[in-house]
């Protein structure tokens, strides 16, 4: 796979295509980053952007993981001491998951975000941004009803992190896109380049196929899950025999989360997928690509129950090293 394909595969969006092409032309030594509010245990949402970081490392990029302790504090996730402690655990979880330790730099937000220069630049961005704009940027990041001043400062700090970390590419889920668009607009006002960004898709809730899977609502998979937990969650997952299910009766869009997890989590990390089946049901099936597996589900050649059995097996393989690390 060439660098451009590694960088862009499974991305929902890149901003801009021309800037990504320039990075793909000469990826060696370029730096990409993702920021995470520390939560200690990795869940499937973190794993999706981590997969992209692994792709980028394979393409020649160096990677920074920002453990965004100050951001988590501003987003009301607990006391600063608790958050700092959680951040330490997260580092080991990422390495267990498969980030290349020799080229991943872990940075705590508080290591640079409390410096004088950063603070003054932040105030300059505050002068350039309306409250309404900051609030819109946060719409898919905060869950609270009333916006606090801290949550308006949050996206401006996220924008400022990009030049302060000296990265060439900002990566995040689609829920981060409005922050990155804000960054493109406001950073030039303090003589910084508008950043290039790449956004990963949001996956539907495993149980219902609706909306997006997150740690706080619906069914999620995390490094704390035992093999039995994974089997039972996957077994109960919504999996009609199609990649494009009908909306619910009340008009809510649905996806097939079992296929999405194969597409965004399993195929990027394994060269081939084997679905084990007893001889009397036709024997094992072997897939080199996601499209072949999805086509067989659609045609009826692959039964949803067999697809789920294989999914639980591969998810368990992805999670086992992190589970082991947590037990140490």
Annotated binding site for ATP: 215
Q: How far is CA 120 from CA 167, 251, 313, in A?
A: 20, 48, 51
Binding site for ligand IYR (CB under 6 A): 34-37, 66, 68, 71, 141, 158, 161, 170, 172, 176
Cβ distance to ligand IYR smaller for residue 194 or 245: 194
Q: Which residue is nearest to ligand IYR (CB)?
A: 35
Cβ distance to ligand IYR smaller for residue 113 or 256: 113
Which residues belong to the annotated binding site?
33, 154, 158, 161, 176, 215
Q: How far is CA 142 from CA 67, 71, 134, in A?
A: 17, 11, 12
Residue 36 Cβ vs ligand IYR, minimum distance, rounded to whole Å? 5
Cβ distance to ligand IYR smaller for residue 61 or 262: 61
Residue 88 Cβ vs ligand IYR, minimum distance, rounded to whole Å? 17
Cβ distance to ligand IYR smaller for residue 33 or 314: 33
Cβ distance to ligand IYR smaller for residue 61 or 290: 61
Residue 45 Cβ vs ligand IYR, minimum distance, rounded to whole Å? 9
Residues 6+ apart with CB under 8 A from 62: 29, 30, 31, 32, 103, 105
C-alpha to C-alpha distance for 165 and 32, rounded to whole angstroms: 10
Residue 141 CB coordination number (10 Å): 19
Which residues belong to the annotated binding site for L-tyrosine?
33, 154, 158, 161, 176
Strand duo 197-200 + 13-15: pairing: antiparallel
Residue 160 Cβ vs ligand IYR, minimum distance, rounded to whole Å? 8
Residue 155 Cβ vs ligand IYR, minimum distance, rounded to whole Å? 8
Residue 143 CB coordination number (10 Å): 10
Closest to 153 measured CA to CA, from 189, 190, 127: 127
Residue 174 Cβ vs ligand IYR, minimum distance, rounded to whole Å? 11
Q: Greatest CA separation found in the chain?
A: 70
C-alpha to C-alpha distance for 222 and 318, rounded to whole angstroms: 10
Cβ distance to ligand IYR smaller for residue 66 or 202: 66
Closest to 152 measured CA to CA, from 138, 172, 173: 138
Going 187 to 135 to 113 to 125, the CA torsion angle's sign is positive
CB distance 309 to 276 below 8 Å: yes
Residues 6+ apart with CB under 8 A from 158: 35, 68, 71, 176, 179, 183
Residue 25 Cβ vs ligand IYR, minimum distance, rounded to whole Å? 24
Cβ distance to ligand IYR smaller for residue 177 or 210: 177
C-alpha to C-alpha distance for 17 and 95, rounded to whole angstroms: 30
């Amino acid at each position: 796979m060439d660098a451009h394909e590694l960088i862009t595969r499974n991305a929902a969006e890149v901003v801009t295509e021309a800037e990504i092409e320039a990075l793909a032309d000469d990826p060696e030594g370029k730096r990409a980053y993702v920021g995470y509010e520390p939560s200690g245990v990795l869940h499937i949402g973190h794993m999706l952007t981590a997969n992209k970081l692994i792709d980028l490392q394979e393409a020649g990029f160096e990677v920074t993981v920002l453990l965004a302790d100050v951001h988590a504090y501003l987003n009301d996730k607990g006391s600063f001491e608790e958050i700092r402690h959680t951040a330490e655990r997260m580092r080991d979880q990422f390495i267990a998951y498969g980030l290349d330790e020799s080229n991943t730099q872990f940075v705590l937000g508080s290591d640079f975000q409390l410096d004088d220069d950063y603070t003054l630049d932040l105030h300059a961005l505050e002068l350039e941004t309306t409250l309404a704009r900051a609030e819109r940027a946060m719409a898919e990041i905060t869950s609270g009803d009333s916006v606090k001043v801290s949550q308006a400062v949050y996206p401006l700090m996220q924008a400022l992190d990009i030049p302060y970390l000296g990265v060439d590419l900002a990566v995040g889920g689609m829920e981060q896109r409005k922050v990155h668009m804000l960054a493109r607009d406001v950073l030039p006002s303090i003589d910084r380049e508008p950043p290039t960004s790449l956004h990963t898709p949001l996956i539907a809730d495993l149980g219902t196929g609706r909306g997006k899977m997150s740690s706080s609502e619906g069914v999620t998979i995390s490094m704390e899950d035992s093999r039995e937990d994974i089997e039972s969650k996957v077994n109960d997952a919504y999996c009609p025999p199609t990649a494009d299910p009908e909306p619910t009766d009340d008009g809510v869009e649905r996806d097939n989360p079992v296929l999405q997890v194969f597409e965004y989590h399993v195929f990027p990390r394994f060269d081939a997928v084997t679905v084990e089946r007893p001889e009397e049901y036709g024997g094992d099936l072997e897939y080199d690509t996601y499209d072949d597996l999805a086509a067989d589900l659609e045609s009826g050649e692959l039964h949803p129950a067999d697809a789920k059995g294989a999914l639980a097996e591969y998810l368990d393989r992805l999670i086992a090293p992190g589970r082991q690390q947590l037990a140490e």
